[in-house]
Amino acid sequence: MPHLASTRKASSSFAIHQASPQAIKATATASAVSDLVVLERLDAIYKAIQPAPVLDRAIRLPEVLDIVGVSKSTWYARLNPSSPSYDPRAPQPFKLGTTAGSPSAWWLSATMGYVQACANAQAGN
């Protein structure tokens, strides 16, 4: 039996060597198309399992104060341009409604950016 197996191997090897250049090119093209299809499917799967991007959210004063770590009066002093404690890097609030009595909010990303800017300024000193 070993002789038969080696004969089969030799004959298949012989068939590959006897293939025309056009047949080899067609096989390679089909293989490339197959590889492209597989890559496209893998890309679609990868995109499907990626987490949704984190959307920014509005936060209210108590959470801002908790993140920044200062009192309410200190925070508002940092927001007031006429105060000696004014910090132009501090994010300004926006209204959640159209009236003057509407609650104020800050963007979480702006608040976190402010804290990072303060930390970077400390690291630079």
Q: Strand 94-95: give its sheet, edge to edge.
A: 58-59, 104-107, 94-95
The pLDDT of residue 4 is 52
1 has a pLDDT exceeding 60: no
pTM of the model as a whole: 0.55
The pLDDT of residue 23 is 67
Tell me the per-residue pLDDT of 100-118, one tens digit each, with 9 for 90 and over: 999 999 999 999 999 999 8
